[in-house]
Amino acid sequence: MVANHPYYYLYYNQLVGGLNGAYGNYETDYYYHSMREGAEWLQEYLKNKQHSEEVIAGGNFPIQWYFRNNEKIKFVYFPYQKRSEYDWDYAIVANSYISPFQLKNKIWPPSNTIHTITADGIPICAVIERVTKDDLRGIQEKKKGDNIKSALLFQNALALDPQNEWICYKFATSLVFSGEVDRAEQMLQECFEINPDYEPALVLAGDLALKSNNTEKAAVYYRKAIEANRKYFSVYLKLAGLYAETNVDEARKVLKDCLKINPRYKPARQALADTYRNLTSEEEEKRKKENSKK
């Protein structure tokens, strides 16, 4: 704890292997204390840089206080995985809510990191320099409905920022709307190599499998999305919908699992009610017998 000052609260005991053993299995800088050092380092770094315009510093925790005396720096908050959706020039990202897969496979800190803060030899904060804004421009063009132009911008951005799962996912969505489904599926596989638990990509992969009438494959992706985030409630409906025609008991089980977590989720309650409303005469008879036994 003394050696890691001022980050002594990151301590994990030797039962888990210390901080190195906890890395990727437990959160480390969950109070974002390292971001102060990152903000101070960035300001010193920018003193030697020539910037004619205002510099935008992003981060996964609100740290605008550290820039209160620097009028040349504007701060913007973003979730790390959605960083491409925001306009920023440099980013200060603490090791919190980062994919365990990316931590264990050294995908984080990303390759465009210009400074890393460590404790016990593991990275707890990264100062990142943005290498392109084509990803941001891509989403702007996509909002305008120009999927071809957005796809080209995402392709350019991915070449410069290949460790960004968000770009892979958005690139895939543009390809789908452009009719290039096979290429979109290939891009989703590249996304999973960066982050196999990236929920939006898992759902899109499931949707594409369903459109190809591969319900078994679609179910696998939907279940993976739920495993990655059990509060992704809309996916329960998609998964239940796969079983509604052929295995109504499984469909009900999926919907009940959803309602155990969120009993007030109306779409799941409605879908569950529909499965009983549409009972066949045989199922109705079976249900009456079960109720009579109770």
How does pLDDT run across 221-236, given as a tens digit for each residue? 999 999 999 999 999 9
Supply the pLDDT for residue 1: 86
Backbone conformation region of residue 179, classed left if phi is above 0, alpha if psi is from -120 to 50, else beta: left
Are β-strands 122-129 and 90-94 bridged in parallel, bridged antiparallel, or unpaired? antiparallel
> If one looks up domain 134-293 in CATH, what number appears?
1.25.40.10
Does the structure show a pLDDT above 60 at 16?
yes
Supply the pLDDT for residue 289: 67
**Degrees to nearest 5, angle at CA 218 with 212 and 220:** 150
Does the structure show a pLDDT above 70 at 282?
no
Which residues of the chain are in CATH 1.25.40.10 domains?
A: 134-293
Q: How far apart are CA 212 and CA 241, in angstroms?
A: 15
Tell me how far CA of residue 20 lies from CA of 7, 23, 26, 41, in angstroms: 14, 5, 10, 24
Q: Could you tell me where the DSSP H helices lie in the chain?
A: 18-22, 34-46, 100-104, 134-143, 147-160, 165-177, 181-194, 199-211, 215-228, 233-243, 248-261, 266-277, 281-293
165-224 residue pLDDT tens: 999 999 999 999 999 999 999 999 999 999 999 999 999 999 999 999 999 999 999 999
Q: How far apart are CA 43 and CA 279, in angstroms?
A: 66
pTM of the model: 0.89
Structure-block tokens of residue 273: 């009610």
Structure-block tokens of residue 72: 């040349």
CB-based contact 238:254 (threshold 8 Å)? no
Report the 10 Å Cβ neighbour count for 74: 16
Determine the straight-line distance between the first and last CA of the chain, rounded to whole angstroms.
60
Does the structure show a pLDDT above 60 at 281?
no
Q: Which residue has the higher pLDDT, 62 or 49?
A: 62
Average pLDDT, integer, range 41-52: 88
Crossing angle between the packed helical segments 147-160 and 134-143, to the nearest 10 degrees: 160
117-170 residue pLDDT tens: 999 999 999 999 999 999 999 999 999 999 999 999 999 999 999 999 999 999
Phi/psi of residue 250, nearest 5 degrees = -70, -40
- Partnered with residue 118 across adjacent β-strands are 123
Supply the pLDDT for residue 245: 81
Q: How far apart are CA 209 and CA 229, in angstroms?
A: 20
Farthest CA pair distance, the chain: 81
Crossing angle between the packed helical segments 248-261 and 233-243, to the nearest 10 degrees: 170
Does the structure show a pLDDT above 70 at 283?
no
| Percentage of residues in the chain having pLDDT higher than 70 | 94
CB-based contact 71:45 (threshold 8 Å)? no
| Percentage of residues in the chain having pLDDT higher than 90 | 88
Does the structure show a pLDDT above 80 at 294?
no
From the number of C-beta atoms within 10 Å of its C-beta (0-12, 13-18, 19+), residue 173 rates as buried
